[in-house]
Chains A and B, each alone.
Chain A
Amino acid sequence: MMTEHTFSDETLMAFADGELSADESEAVERAMEADEALALRVEAFMETRLKSQDALKPLLDEPVPEALRQKVEGLVAGTAEQAENVVPFPQNRPSAPVSTPRWAVPLAASVALVAGVAGGYWLGLTEPGGTSGLQAANLGSPGVVQALHEVASGKQKDLGNNERFRAIASYKDTNGDLCREFELDHPDKSTVVAVACNIQKTWKVQFTVVAAQNTEGYAPASSLEALNAYLTAVGASDPLSQAAERGALEALKP
């Protein structure tokens, strides 16, 4: 059983810094109520933190020297130029950056309203008129299949009926099949985020998330977490460059 006399400086400091677990924090708080000296020790740690921040704040407020700023902006511009011919995948979404590391994301059901992963949904390339299990999302429409063949990543295409197809990126899966990540906006303001792979001349939908659309028309980052988890799980390659993507699509033509 802890008493106030057993708290080390490090424990009190961790409490002041908000680094203790809930249980430990509660123990310190209880002890502080009964022991003013203990409360003062905690306060002293808080004070050193605040005073340090105040002391170095002027350095933060100083303008960055022009020479340094220009140099770094030049570096950034140079890097951007180099990257221009690469179709980025999947971070370069026009929407908010994905906020969770790819390896750390559990495929939680809570991140998406509907998530269907791996298999079961086929797009009938050979019979464009056929319906599919994804009728609700209209992924099986001939327009989508055609767009998968035609639209370069970064571009979008109106499919009619207030539907819009947006190609995000292309990559090769571990079997070497071409996979494309795309988004489909629907008139009801929902957006489907999907990955389809072309396996033996048929586009097979491997992953879908239906997400509420934000005002910019892009799927919100939360639904992309599930996508990233999926891409990590299947070992997706780096995104194909624009040229490689063109070549891969060309190769699919009959």
Chain B
Amino acid sequence: MADDFGQQLIDLLPRLRRFAISLSRSRDVADDLVQIACEKALANQHAYEAGTRLDAWLFRILRNTWIDRLRRSTTEGTKIDVDEAHYLVGQDGATVTEARLMLNSTAEHLANLPDDQREVMLLVCVDELSYREAADILEVPIGTVMSRLARARKKIMAEMGIDANATRSEDEKGSA
């Protein structure tokens, strides 16, 4: 069990990390979160139901870890250092170049969404979970997932000039 489960966990690291970075908006915090989530997952792997989506199960653990940390940092009065949109930029040169190119309006708009809207965008649009799976992870009704998701997307449409009502939108206005 451990071998198989462990390998799947390792294979999912890039996606866990992306989710953690997008969630926490800090690379350092993200790596911490991923590590703690992996520890919890391994310690509780008997609770994972074979045949269900492992990524969804791990996202849930990861998000709970993040919520937990937020809660604690609030009570402790410490502040998690959030580097706003620059968290998307990596350290090495190549990544920086690529990331800068991709630091388009969409990434910025995603980063600027309220937390509750950003996380549904990540789960459903980016990581392609179903509404049901997202609702389970967030522990909210499916209707709440839908309303947050619709609001987030309307906001992104508005900011990016994706016009749903008139003529077809141009690609990527004003991303420079």
Which A residues lie at the B interface, using CB under 8 A? 9-10, 13-14, 17, 19, 37, 40-41, 43-45, 47-49, 51-62, 64-65, 67-69, 71-73, 75-77, 79-80, 82-83, 88, 91-92, 97-104
Q: Are A57 and B49 in contact (CB under 8 A)?
A: no
With an 8 A cutoff between CB atoms, is B55 at the interface? no
List chain B residues, Cβ under 8 A from A102. Answer: 49-50
A13 CA to B149 CA in the complex, in Å?
A: 9
Q: Are B13 and A68 in contact (CB under 8 A)?
A: yes
Give the interface size class of chain B. 35 or more
List chain A residues, Cβ under 8 A from B70. Answer: none
List chain A residues, Cβ under 8 A from B21. Answer: 59
Enumerate the 7 nearest inter-chain pairs by beta-carbon distance, A residue then B residue, closest first.
A76-B6, A44-B164, A55-B106, A80-B2, A55-B107, A101-B49, A59-B18
Output the least CB separation between B128 and chain A (Å): 8
A71 CA to B6 CA in the complex, in Å?
A: 12
Q: Are A41 and B102 in contact (CB under 8 A)?
A: no
What are 18 A-B interface contacts by the 8 Å CB criterion? Answer: A14-B146, A47-B169, A48-B125, A52-B110, A55-B104, A58-B90, A58-B102, A59-B14, A59-B17, A60-B14, A61-B98, A62-B14, A62-B17, A68-B34, A72-B13, A75-B35, A75-B39, A79-B42
Q: Are A56 and B107 in contact (CB under 8 A)?
A: yes
List chain B residues, Cβ under 8 A from A19. Answer: 130-131
- Nearest neighbor of B8 in chain A, beta-carbon distance: A97
Output the least CB separation between A238 and chain B (Å): 8
Which B residues lie at the A interface, using CB under 8 A? 1-4, 6-7, 9-10, 13-15, 17-18, 21-22, 31, 34-35, 38-39, 42-43, 45, 49-52, 88, 90, 95, 98-99, 102, 104, 106-107, 110, 121-122, 124-126, 130-131, 146-147, 149-150, 153-154, 156-157, 160, 162-166, 168-169
A79 CA to B2 CA in the complex, in Å?
A: 7
Q: Are B147 and A64 in contact (CB under 8 A)?
A: no
Q: Are B10 and A72 in contact (CB under 8 A)?
A: yes
What 20 new A-B contacts, CB under 8 Å, besides A52-B121, A64-B13?
A9-B154, A19-B131, A45-B164, A52-B110, A55-B106, A56-B18, A57-B102, A60-B18, A64-B14, A64-B17, A68-B35, A69-B10, A69-B13, A75-B39, A76-B42, A77-B6, A82-B2, A91-B4, A92-B3, A101-B52
Output the least CB separation between B126 and chain A (Å): 5
List chain A residues, Cβ under 8 A from B14. Answer: 59-62, 64
List chain B residues, Cβ under 8 A from A69. Answer: 10, 13
List chain B residues, Cβ under 8 A from A79. Answer: 2, 6, 42-43, 45
Output the least CB separation between B85 and chain A (Å): 11
Q: Are A58 and B98 in contact (CB under 8 A)?
A: yes
Q: Are A48 and B1 in contact (CB under 8 A)?
A: no
Q: Are A101 and B107 in contact (CB under 8 A)?
A: no
Known: A37-B165, A59-B18, A76-B10. A51 touches B106 (CB 8 A): yes
Q: Which of A52, A58, A68, A75 contacts B126 (CB 8 A)?
A: A52
Output the least CB separation between A149 and chain B (Å): 26
